[in-house]
Amino acid sequence: MNERQAKCPFCRQFMTGWRSRYPAKACDQCDRPLFLMPSIFKRDHLAILSALDIAKVLMLPIVTGATISFGLGGLTPSEFAAVVASALLMWGLIDVWDGTAGLKTGIDRVKKQVQKGGKARKTSVAKTIFGFSSVLLGALGLLLII
């Protein structure tokens, strides 16, 4: 990784190097969790990834896989409901984390658009509320199933 070109994948701001001996840390600017991963394309090159984005992307194949197995009869309705409820819970936690970090730093991102200041705070409030509702719904769902 070129230290001078270290850029946060979330807020797209340049960082003054990684400055941590651990492969994971929060961004100095936007406070989102980041981690280092060896690049597949370049040797001795480390890529910085946004943990929240990766977590969201990883949830998709899990939910899709569960839906397909349910459709093929591999999962019982309550097992399928448990997967959906856990996904909702996880997704909610990610949104709450994202939202509270946005409230703290005033930096937010919707899709590829980075927002700052008042607009970012409004989106962050919405994300936090939406996230909490998903967590509640997911937790409630799990309680009803188990």
Which one of 3-11, 39-47, 63-71, 81-89 is the stretch in contact with Zn ion (CB under 5 A)?
3-11
Per DSSP, helices labelled H in the chain are 51-71, 77-105, 117-145
Nearer to Zn ion, 10 or 97 (CB): 10
Dist CA 50 CA 146 (whole Å):
33
Radius of gyration in angstroms for the set of CA atoms belonging to the chain, rounded to a whole number: 18
Dist CA 66 CA 12 (whole Å):
34
Supply the minimum distance, in Å, between the C-beta of residue 11 and Zn ion: 3
Q: Does 29 bind Zn ion (CB under 5 A)?
A: yes
Tell me the pairing of strands 33-38 and 24-26: antiparallel
The interface with Zn ion within residues 72-91 (CB under 5 A) comprises none
Nearer to Zn ion, 84 or 107 (CB): 107
- Which residues 6+ apart lie within 8 Å of 126 measured at CB? 99
Q: Which residues of 120-132 are buried (b: 16+ CB within 10 A; e: fewer)?
A: bbebbeebbeebe
Which one of 5-13, 70-78, 95-103, 109-117 is the stretch in contact with Zn ion (CB under 5 A)?
5-13
Nearer to Zn ion, 85 or 101 (CB): 101
Nearer to Zn ion, 6 or 125 (CB): 6
Supply the minimum distance, in Å, between the C-beta of residue 132 and Zn ion: 23
Contact with Zn ion (CB under 5 A): which of 27, 84, 120, 135? 27
Nearer to Zn ion, 43 or 111 (CB): 111
- Sites of contact with Zn ion (CB under 5 A): 8, 10-11, 27, 29-30
